């Protein structure tokens, strides 16, 4: 009888959230409830710190207070959309209740709006809904595409231009993370946390696993994993991987 391939039990990729809030108690309360629900979250007390984190980190959603000191939430939102060109979903948190304030937020690029005081459970509900909507994916079965790469997650099936590629468990985990954030840098720490749920077995463990993945992909003619020195790795833009037309 043919051998049946049993799927491995890989941990789910946790959603990551950046909380931009200058009121420490509010920020820490949101952080605690998100972590309790399985999210990974960071806190930035002002817009400048938040923009730095967004340029160097990897987030699925931003919880953004409008009334920040210095650069306010509206200005930060415009910077995200117009200068950094980030499409990361943004949920605005504010004590302002007028229609004009809400319209301003949506005009600047917000995805949703929550008025203070709010229930922490609603923050979790809206956060999860916005992330799922932005990915347009279910939690159990979906496909990821980038250039010639295709990964059917439920079947653990990877193809390069239609050719089936067999990968190890760790290689599949790395590839899924890179595909889910295609074009964005996946920091080294994020990869280590996902692969080993804590401390990696050695300082070179991630590089060794990436070497194996690159070798397997290269054998199929794909060389699209790019090292961003000092930060992490990303998939090259799909158009950069296009095969030039024959003369």
- Asked if 29 and 106 sit in the same domain, the reply is yes
Task: Tell me, yes or no, whether 86 and 147 share the same domain.
Answer: no
User: CB-based burial of residue 229 (10 Å sphere; 0-12 exposed, 13-18 middle, 19+ buried)?
Assistant: exposed
6-10, 95-99, 116-120, 138-142 — which one is most confidently predicted on average?
Answer: 116-120
pLDDT, tens only, 11-40: 567 789 999 999 999 999 999 999 999 898
Answer yes or no: do 154 and 235 share one domain.
Answer: yes
179 and 217 in one domain?
yes
Task: Give the pLDDT band (50/70/90) at residue 202.
Answer: confident
Spatial neighbors of 2 by CB under 8 A, at least 6 apart, are none
Quick one: residue 38, left, alpha or beta (phi over 0 = left, psi -120 to 50 = alpha)? left
For residue range 41-81, list pLDDT tens digits in order.
999 999 999 999 888 778 889 999 999 999 999 999 999 99
Three-class SS of residue 117? Answer: coil
> Are 24 and 131 part of one and the same domain?
yes
Using alpha carbons, select from 171, 130, 133 the residue that is nearest to residue 151. 171
**3-state secondary structure (DSSP) of residue 147:** coil
Residue-range definition of the domain harbouring residue 232 = 143-241
Q: Does any domain span residue 10?
A: no
DSSP three-state, residue 45 = coil
For residue 196, what pLDDT band results from cuts at 50, 70 and 90? Answer: confident
Q: 247: how many CB neighbours lie within 10 A of its CB?
A: 3
Is the pLDDT assigned to residue 207 strictly greater than 60?
Answer: yes
- Selected residue with higher pLDDT from 132 and 90: 90
128 and 195 part of one domain: no
Domain count of the fold of the chain: 2
Nearest in space to 108 (alpha carbons), one of 96, 116, 100: 100
243 pLDDT above the threshold of 90: no
Is 118 a residue whose pLDDT tops 50? yes
- Residue-by-residue DSSP string for 208-240: HHHHHHHHHHHTTT---EEEETTTEEEEPPGGG
Examine residue 230 and state whether it is found in any structural domain, yes or no. yes
Do 126 and 147 sit in the same domain of this protein? no
Confidence of residue 136 (pLDDT cuts 50, 70, 90): low
Last residue of a domain, one of 135, 153, 180: 135
Strand partners, 226: 234
For residues 8 and 54, what is the distance between their CA atoms, to the nearest angstrom?
32
Q: Under the phi-then-psi rule, with left for phi > 0, alpha for psi from -120 to 50, and beta for the rest, what region is 110?
A: beta
What is the per-residue pLDDT for 169? 85
């Amino acid at each position: 009888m043919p051998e049946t391939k049993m799927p491995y039990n890989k941990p789910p990729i946790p959603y990551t959230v950046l909380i931009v809030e200058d009121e420490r108690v509010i920020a820490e309360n949101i952080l605690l409830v998100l972590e309790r629900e399985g999210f990974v979250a960071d806190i930035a007390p002002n817009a400048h710190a938040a923009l730095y984190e967004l340029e160097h980190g990897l987030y699925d959603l931003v919880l953004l207070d409008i009334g920040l000191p210095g650069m306010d939430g509206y200005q930060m939102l415009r910077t995200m959309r117009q200068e950094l060109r980030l499409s990361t979903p943004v949920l605005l948190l504010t004590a302002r209740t007028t229609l004009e304030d809400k319209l301003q937020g949506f005009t600047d690029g917000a995805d949703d709006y929550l008025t203070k005081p709010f229930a922490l459970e609603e923050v979790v509900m809206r956060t999860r809904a916005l992330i799922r909507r932005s990915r347009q994916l279910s939690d159990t079965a979906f496909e990821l595409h980038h250039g010639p790469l295709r990964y059917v997650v439920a079947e653990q099936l990877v193809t390069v231009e239609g050719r089936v590629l067999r990968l190890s468990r760790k290689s599949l985990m790395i590839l899924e993370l890179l595909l889910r954030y295609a074009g964005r840098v996946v920091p080294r720490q994020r990869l280590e946390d996902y692969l080993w749920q804590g401390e990696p077995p050695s300082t070179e463990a991630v590089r060794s696993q990436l070497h194996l993945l690159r070798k397997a992909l290269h054998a199929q003619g794909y060389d699209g994993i790019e090292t961003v020195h000092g930060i992490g790795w990303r998939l090259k833009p799909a158009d950069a991987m296009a095969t030039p037309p024959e003369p």
